[in-house]
Amino acid sequence: MEDSSNITAIAAAMPSGQKNHTLHHKHHGDDHFHSKSQIHQQHSSFLSFNSTIIIIISVVSVVVVLALFLLIVMLRRLKSVRKNGSCKESGSTSNSSSRFIAHNAIDFNSSPDVKAKCLYGGSISRKPPPTPSRYKGVQVFTYKALELATDNFSEVNVIGNGGFGVVYKGILADGTVAAIKRLQRDGKQGERAFRMEVDLLSRLNSPYLVELLGYCADQHHRLLIFEYMPNGTLQQHLHNPSSQYRPLDWGTRLRVALDCARALEFLHEHAVPTVIHRDFKCTNILLDQNLRAKVSDFGLAKMGSDKINGQISTRVLGTTGYLAPEYASTGKLTTKSDVYSYGVVLLQLLTGRVPVDIKRPPGEHVLVSWALPRLTNRDKVDVMVDPAIKGQYSKKDLIQVAAIAAMCVQPEADYRPLMVDVVQSLIPLVKNLNSSNSTGSSRFLHQLSSPKY
Ligand SMILES: Nc1ncnc2c1ncn2[C@@H]1O[C@H](COP(=O)(O)OP(=O)(O)OP(=O)(O)O)[C@@H](O)[C@H]1O
Ligand SMILES: [Mg+2]
């Protein structure tokens, strides 16, 4: 009875073919009946075969799932690499000069952390290169490459010293002459200025802005590499008595005024978001070989995306004599603050005077206060013009330029014009120069017909 029940139990656990075969043996006598141990042996070998199959199937399924997962991850990474590009700082060289292609543009929508990562060797967003052929993109330099370019930052290569640090003239490995600014300021302020220049200038491309060729953020070193402007600053031309430069003539001053107006127009109207320069002044206007002007120094710039009700509340930074009164007194910054600074520069071009000069007689210390009542007075406007350009202009042109300057330095920000209006007012004056003087730069004539933005 025990045997019979055991067999039934075993049979129940077996496939039907095998089951019938076993029962068949039971019904045909004890001679053919297998011993209990034989049945157990058969059963356990069958079970182990079965479980091996199950294990193999499980392993294969896990491997297939893992492979699929890996494939999906790889495809997603490939997609994001294609989309974002990468910041090659200390990895692969782009050419033998240990110069690296960094990027054409830094994504301003990225978080500050992401941007910080970019500057210090992480990944950054890459946008397609801008169309103008001259534009090669901002490059990342090693400190070693800049040591080579400046002959170990030799004293003889020093061309200036400003708020950012010492500026050196250098020759890059590909032969390009560059102005190399080495950050000297410690702490947050210097780091902010460095980042602002890199982030902004990587994105902005205008013939009226000094081009940023590259930067170096090698360990603790912070350097900016700019296109070299062989004719120095407007400040040197207008106010440096020991300067090697001849006084700028009326025509050149007008062209400089238009170039600068176009630079600010670009920042205010064409940059997205709007950029407020915040430190527009004669030392930040550089002149090229044709005495055409470009604006530099974006370390203090502010972006319009920081706006609240059309204005930015900020700490008052900038340079005395150029600050708009409402910005100086309340810290409220708008594009009209730049328009005021532009008006001061226009007055410098017109009068040859510096914005603040305590050596002058009482009442003449502050250029704007002295000039404003004279600018709109037909009889007095002649008297205030720089003696170096006397006789080079028509009275009509002088009155027009004086009127533009007067509007720009209005104490009330709302009464100041937009830079686009200033540009439009200056264009006919410069056009007249070009038609009366065929030596005008061909670049300028081209710009008039098709402004490059
Ligand atoms: N791209 C350049 N090409 C030629 N010379 C330059 C260039 N950039 C700067 N310089 C020279 O270096 C000097 C210092 O420039 P920097 O911008 O550091 O200071 P700054 O404009 O004089 O003062 P601030 O720090 O207030 O802007 C300039 O006055 C100029 O003579
Ligand atoms: Mg400067």
Cα–Cα distance measured from residue 339 to residue 265, given in angstroms and rounded to the nearest whole number: 10
211-267 pLDDT, tens digit per residue, is 999 999 999 999 999 999 999 999 999 998 666 788 999 999 999 999 999 999 999
Q: Are strands 138-141 and 212-216 parallel, antiparallel or unpaired?
A: parallel
Report the separation in Å between the CA atom of 161 and the middle of ligand 1, taken as the mean of its atom positions. Answer: 7
In the predicted structure, residue 130 carries a pLDDT above the cut 50: no
In the predicted structure, residue 395 carries a pLDDT above the cut 60: yes
Half-sphere exposure (CA, 13 Å, Cβ side) for 125? 14
CA distances from 84 to 126, 128, 139, 271, 288 (A): 6, 10, 17, 22, 35
Q: Which ligand has the minimum distance to the alpha carbon of residue 317?
A: 1
Q: What is the pLDDT of residue 185?
A: 65
In the predicted structure, residue 447 carries a pLDDT above the cut 80: no
260-297 pLDDT, tens digit per residue, is 999 999 999 999 999 999 999 999 999 999 999 999 99
CA distances from 235 to 86, 240, 298, 441 (A): 40, 7, 17, 22
**In a 3-state reduction of DSSP, which class is residue 300?**
coil
Q: Which amino acid is at 119?
A: L
Q: Which residues surround ligand 2, an ion (CB under 5 A)?
A: 162, 283-284, 297
Cα–Cα distance measured from residue 301 to residue 330, given in angstroms and rounded to the nearest whole number: 18
359-371 pLDDT, tens digit per residue, is 999 999 999 999 9
Residue 51: Cβ within 10 Å count: 10
Q: Which two tokens stand for residue 296?
A: 């530099």
CATH topology of domain 116-227: Phosphorylase Kinase; domain 1 (3.30.200)
In the predicted structure, residue 87 carries a pLDDT above the cut 70: no
Point out the annotated binding site for ATP.
181
What's the mean pLDDT in 4-23? 38
Half-sphere exposure (CA, 13 Å, Cβ side) for 16? 0
Q: What is the pLDDT of residue 16?
A: 40
**Residue 152 falls in which region: left (phi positive, over 0), alpha (psi -120 to 50) or beta:** left
Which atom, in ligand 1's list, is nearest to the CA of 235? 29
Q: Which residues contact 161 (CB under 8 A, 6 or more apart)?
A: 167
Phi, psi of 295 (to 5 degrees): -95, 140
Q: What is the pLDDT of residue 244?
A: 77
What's the mean pLDDT in 342-364? 95
| Mean predicted lDDT score pLDDT of the chain | 75
Q: Which amino acid is at 164?
A: F
Report the separation in Å between the CA atom of 278 and the middle of ligand 2, taken as the mean of its atom positions. Answer: 12
Least confident among 13-27, 99-113, 146-160? 99-113
Q: Which amino acid is at 172?
A: L
Least confident among 153-157, 223-227, 302-306, 390-394? 302-306
Q: Which two tokens stand for residue 242?
A: 């020991």
In the predicted structure, residue 432 carries a pLDDT above the cut 50: yes
The residue that leads in pLDDT, 100 or 76, is 76
Cα–Cα distance measured from residue 139 to residue 103, given in angstroms and rounded to the nearest whole number: 7
Give percent of the chain with pLDDT exceeding 70.
Answer: 67
Q: Is 229 in the pocket of ligand 1 (CB under 6 A)?
A: yes
Cα–Cα distance measured from residue 273 to residue 277, given in angstroms and rounded to the nearest whole number: 13
The residue that leads in pLDDT, 139 or 193, is 139
Q: What is the pLDDT of residue 52?
A: 77
Report the separation in Å between the CA atom of 335 and the middle of ligand 2, taken as the mean of its atom positions. Answer: 19
Strand ranges (E), 132-272: 138-141, 158-161, 165-171, 177-183, 212-216, 223-227
Domain map (residue ranges) of the chain: 38-84, 116-227, 234-438
Q: What is the pLDDT of residue 76?
A: 64
Report the separation in Å between the CA atom of 160 and the middle of ligand 1, taken as the mean of its atom positions. Answer: 6
Q: Is 288 in the pocket of ligand 1 (CB under 6 A)?
A: no
The residue that leads in pLDDT, 235 or 113, is 235
Cα–Cα distance measured from residue 110 to residue 126, given in angstroms and rounded to the nearest whole number: 12
Query: In the 8-state DSSP scheme, what is residue 270?
Result: I
Q: Is 228 in the pocket of ligand 1 (CB under 6 A)?
A: yes
Q: What is the pLDDT of residue 91?
A: 30
In the predicted structure, residue 345 carries a pLDDT above the cut 60: yes
- Is 279 annotated as catalytic? yes
The CATH superfamily assigned to 234-438 is Transferase(Phosphotransferase) domain 1 (1.10.510.10)
Q: Are 413 and 336 in contact (CB under 8 A)?
A: yes
Ligand 1, atom 11, residue with closest C-alpha? 160
Catalytic residue among 218, 279, 288, 386: 279
Q: What is the pLDDT of residue 136?
A: 63
Give percent of the chain with pLDDT exceeding 90.
Answer: 49
Cα–Cα distance measured from residue 206 to residue 275, given in angstroms and rounded to the nearest whole number: 13
Q: Please calculate the CA angle 116-118-121 and round it to the nearest 5 degrees.
A: 105
Q: Is 169 in the pocket of ligand 1 (CB under 6 A)?
A: no
* Global pTM value: 0.69
Q: Which of 6-15, 54-63, 272-281 has the highest mean pLDDT?
A: 272-281
**In a 3-state reduction of DSSP, which class is residue 229?**
coil
Q: Which two tokens stand for residue 419?
A: 């830079």
List alpha helices for 28-98, DSSP H: 36-84
